[in-house]
Amino acid sequence: MLSWENLIGHAATIDYLKKNIAEEKFPHAVIFSGEEGVGKRLAAEICAAALLCENPIDGNPCGSCESCHLVAAKSHPDFYVVEAEETKTARNIKIGQIREMQAEASLIPINSARRVIIIDGAELMNKAAANCLLKTIEEPPSQTIFILLTTSRSSLLMTIRSRCMTINFDKLTASQIRDALISREVDAQEAERLAVIAGGSFGRALKLKDSGGIQIRETALDTLEKISRKEFSNEEIFKTGAEMSDWSRDKFSDFLTHVQKILRDICFAEILEPYNPDVAERLSKIKIPERKIFLMIEAGAEFHKRLKSNANLRLLAEAYLMKVKKIYQRGWQCGSIN
Ligand SMILES: [Zn+2]
């Protein structure tokens, strides 16, 4: 059942949302902004349950009425979710999806006094879709509440941002993530390690657990170790690229993120709290001059961007590995080599 007790962290935000629901002051259009996996979607679903519940208690859904059951089962007629459609090359929300939602929103709510619409991944709306949504938010159908979820508020149209109240969802602490993992019966030692590398996102910690994320970090670590020992032959780069071509784009994105965090740890070991304290000894043996680390981090950011285009994953992986290797071997002169 959807309950605030299931949301990890965000105590002040929960209090605020509950108060608004209880006092019937919930805004007509709101943006939940924060990183992937920090609880925005669950919070939005709990809000929907509480807003549609027949017997809400102080901003909490009762959990036992028909509405609560239907929202939890995602079959409530007054609860509508728009999500990005994913193809092999792109993820976005199309204008057709927004139009479909608008047709639904123009109807009178069926079971409840209001309708709740969640748009998950609002930054993934293309321009036409965003403009179409804007029209609805400017003149919202009465009794309709929009909850936009985004990992990148600044990517939304300014006109949409200005018409929505924004609620920020901060990153979770490592101990919050660790405790939540342990309560889901993850082994304490694994929970500790996952919590450290999840970067404040419980969703990421779960994904890492399920997708062998520790293994992805291991690949990232192994890659940098080989490069810094000059053991990464071009042949091996092409072999690794071929293996990575079977990965999802999300998995390659995780790999890039791990490389970035490891580089940051190597560079700032003595100043900043490390992302990967459990492998500090291995990291201390990777010797890369600071200047080259910055170039590598720049390259990682650039390839993260390219990953969002339609580029072929295998070519992208090979180009990235080749670039990092060249930066290590030749240093700053390679800043412009692709
Ligand atoms: Zn209820």
Q: Given this model, what pLDDT does residue 199 score?
A: 82
Q: Binning pLDDT at 50, 70 and 90, where does residue 167 land? A: very high
CB neighbourhood size of 125 (10 A): 28
> Contact, 116 vs 147, CB < 8 A?
yes
CA of 49 relative to ligand 1 center, distance in Å: 7
Q: Given this model, what pLDDT does residue 249 score?
A: 87
CB neighbourhood size of 196 (10 A): 18
Q: Which of 153, 203, 171 is nearest to 37 (CA)?
A: 203
Q: Given this model, what pLDDT does residue 338 score?
A: 39
CA of 14 relative to ligand 1 center, distance in Å: 18
Average pLDDT, the chain: 90
Provide, rounded to the nearest whole percent, the portion of the chain with pLDDT above 90. 67
Mean pLDDT of 10-14: 96
CA of 67 relative to ligand 1 center, distance in Å: 6
The domain defined by 4-169 folds into Rossmann fold (3.40.50)
Q: Given this model, what pLDDT does residue 335 score?
A: 39
CA of 56 relative to ligand 1 center, distance in Å: 6
CA of 18 relative to ligand 1 center, distance in Å: 14
- Give residue-wise pLDDT tens across range 57-72: 999 999 999 999 999 9
Assign domain 211-336 one CATH number from 1.10.3470, 1.10.10, 2.70.50, 1.20.272: 1.20.272
CA of 242 relative to ligand 1 center, distance in Å: 51
CB neighbourhood size of 93 (10 A): 23
Each domain of the chain, given as residue ranges in start order, spans 4-169, 172-210, 211-336
- Give residue-wise pLDDT tens across range 64-101: 999 999 999 999 999 999 999 877 677 899 999 999 99
- Kindly compute the dihedral angle of the four CA atoms of residues 69, 72, 76, 79, in this order, to the nearest 10 degrees: 140
Q: Given this model, what pLDDT does residue 212 score?
A: 67
Q: Which of 56, 40, 78 is nearest to 166 (CA)?
A: 40
3-state secondary structure of 334: helix
CB neighbourhood size of 56 (10 A): 19
Token pair, residue 159, equals: 């006109």
Q: Binning pLDDT at 50, 70 and 90, where does residue 299 land? A: very high
- Give residue-wise pLDDT tens across range 171-226: 999 999 999 999 988 888 888 888 887 889 999 888 878 766 778 889 999 999 99
